[in-house]
Amino acid sequence: MANILRFQLFFFVLYMFSSQTPTEAHSTGLSFKLIHKNSPNSPFYKSDKKFHENKFHSFNQVPEKAYVQKGPYTRVTSNNGDYLMKLTLGSPPVDMYGLVDTGSDLVWAQCAPCSRCYQQKNPMFEPLRSKTYSPIPCDSEQCSFFGHSCSPQKLCAYSYSYADSSITNGVLARETITFSSTDDNPVVVGDIIFGCGHSNSGTFNENDMGIIGMGGGPLSLVSQIGTLYRRKRFSQCLVPFHTDTHSSGTISFGDDSDVSGEGVVTTPLVSEEGQTSYLVTLEGISVGDTFVTFNSSEMLSKGNIMIDSGTPATYLPQEFYDRLVEELKVQSNLIPIEDDPDLGTQLCYRRETNLEGPILTAHFEGADVQLMPIQTFIPPKDGVFCLAMAGTTDGEYIFGNFAQSNILIGFDLDRKTVSFKPTDCTNQ
């Protein structure tokens, strides 16, 4: 959660090994459906809300065997550029809507009692009401990676921070989680380790009930359920936030997460010790036919950018970003806005509809990914479209979720690859 756009980036990674015991599983895979809050299928639906209000999203069940890819969208605002995913916790089951974040690992929810928590619209998860809730003792082997940190009740205490200073504190526990599946049969997975947050603060909105870490660490959701399908992999298909439709997107696991067929390109994941984020190598970005190199003066570093679903904007080295913007200005026949203090230094144009060009191409190692204007320009307010990228000097570079929209993206942790397939995620 940085500058004018939501920034979800883990501050540190918690390493912890655990076993997962499936109580019931579908052999081919399962999918989660992201739904815009103004959809009649959303728990946040209000029929009198207009499209230009802030949007929030949730998962809903996937009722058919096909790979359904419909997705959420939202207006570009400082704290609401996120996707929410529905998890059903406990026995009896309780719905939890968590922010999907490939930039972190911990799965956590706000739990009652919670005296120091941010305001939440839906009721909090009440662990004592669940027959399958099992807190982890602080002297257990699973808690050793926290230094056997203990709560007053001798339970395994955790503290997990994010780069924007958001933080969750609570206890680790095992719980049963229920998912939808592609054949409409529920998938019940037991012994998922999650954080029951009793003290949480940060730039959350009232519909965020926690965060679902989808990174590569052992505590992430994809790692924990990966043993069910013998492969740790998942795919996502996200709709552009400013798409005027009630369509929804999916995150899929198992066989349904395979990204294949015509148009698929693949780039290697770059592993760094202590890192569980999805690092890839960006060689440069073309504006039309003009290639703008990532680094004009030094040798290109492997794993120089992270793919993060929890960050809306794409963050690039300042010098690279400046050269990219200059080339965009050269190839555009529009006059940039320079007299609106609300827009800061962003590259923006006055338009009632999105730009017609130029088309950008992100050149990852071995994979060229074309980005249309709907993926690179967003409307912060009526009649204005701005480049959904920013320059930074902090060394943390991110391929954000605006640019990830309308692309079926497959993350394969075992093969250490990321695959991209151009896809109309509003029409799947």
Residue with tokens 């027959």: 131
- Among 262, 279, 175, smallest CA distance to 225 is for 175
Residue with tokens 């570009």: 76
From the list 101, 208, 256, 412, the catalytic residue is 101
DSSP 3-state of 282: strand
Strands 157-161 and 107-110: unpaired
Residue with tokens 């980005």: 371
How far from 417 is each of 144, 258, 303, CA to CA, in Å? Answer: 31, 12, 12
List of residues 6+ apart from 309 with CB closer than 8 A: 8, 83, 100, 101, 102, 103, 214, 236, 238, 401, 404
For residue 101, indicate whether it is catalytic. yes
- Determine the residue type at 168: T
C-alpha count within 13 angstroms, C-beta hemisphere, residue 358: 19
d(CA 372, CA 358): 8
Helix (H) or strand (E) segment spanning residue 187 = strand 187-201
User: Which backbone phi and psi does 367 adopt, to 5 degrees?
Assistant: -150, 115
Please check whether residue 318 is in contact with residue 392, taking contact to mean a CB–CB distance below 8 angstroms. Answer: yes
List of residues 6+ apart from 222 with CB closer than 8 A: 214, 215, 216, 232, 233, 234, 253, 411, 413
List of residues 6+ apart from 423 with CB closer than 8 A: 69, 237, 406, 407, 408
Detail the DSSP E strand segments found in 343-388: 348-350, 360-364, 367-371, 377-381, 384-387
Peptide bond connecting 152 to the previous residue in cis, omega within 30 degrees of 0: no
Residue with tokens 């540190």: 12
From the list 208, 256, 308, 412, the catalytic residue is 308
For residue 82, indicate whether it is catalytic. no
Q: The tokens of 276 are what?
A: 């569980």
Please give the angle made by the CA atoms of 83, 347 and 338, to the nearest 5 degrees: 130
Active site residues: 101, 308
